[in-house]
Structure 1
Amino acid sequence: MTKRVQRSGQRPRREVGSAGVPSGKVAYRRLSNPLQPQRSFSDDQIATLHDTALRVLENLGMRVLNEEALAYFRKAGAKVDTSSSTVFIDRGLVRQALASAPASFALAGGSSDRDIQIGGSSTAFVCIGG
């Protein structure tokens, strides 16, 4: 029950611990979206976008300034131009990486009860910085 305190000339306000607060804890780190995903692009548009991204990775490449990351790309089979720190990734390597990627995974928190599920129907609200 809520006890109201009347202040002069103002609306009454509720005391701390008032009604309207959920009785149980909400698992905000485990939210699930019950709605179907909305399509923003047609299948043809998605295919065109994907093909363009693959052409950029194959022909223009991407500049990677971290030596450890360059070594990782080289070991995975990408062509690395060390003079410009540019990595060129062919379609087959991208296809292989996409096929091995999980549909969902846990983003590790400070402890296991603070992990955030990424992917599937999970909804995540997280701060990312670097």
Structure 2
Amino acid sequence: MPLVVAVIFFSLWVFALGQLEQPEISISRPANKSAHISWKASIQGFSSKIIHWYWQKPNKGLEYLLHVFLTISAQDCSGGKTKKLEVSKNAHTSTSTLKIKFLEKEDEVVYHCACWIRH
């Protein structure tokens, strides 16, 4: 069974200092399985921040996927991938997790996570 590799790159796009933790730089999962990509930020007020997820295909720009505000996906702009993507947010651990279901070759991209902080 072929493996689908998801290359993970997280971005903390902020207008203030924050720390970012990436448990895994890249992951490999079998096709038709699920992958969970987590992002942890040490920023003040994480529970009230909107977390945005993007992907970037080779030689292409960033493409917006979806965002989460409280604890579940707030909006899906993934071009019909609603059944494929889920995002969650845990305010207690300051973590956001993207779940990609039914992995296929086209999911082998770079994923970005972002949070904006205003002063």
User: TM-score if structure 1 supplies the norm length?
Assistant: 0.26
Structure with the bigger RCO (C-alpha within 8 Å, sep 6+) is 2
Give TM-score, length-normalised by structure 2. Answer: 0.27
The structure with the largest strand share of the pair is 2
Q: Please say which structure displays the higher CA radius of gyration.
A: 1
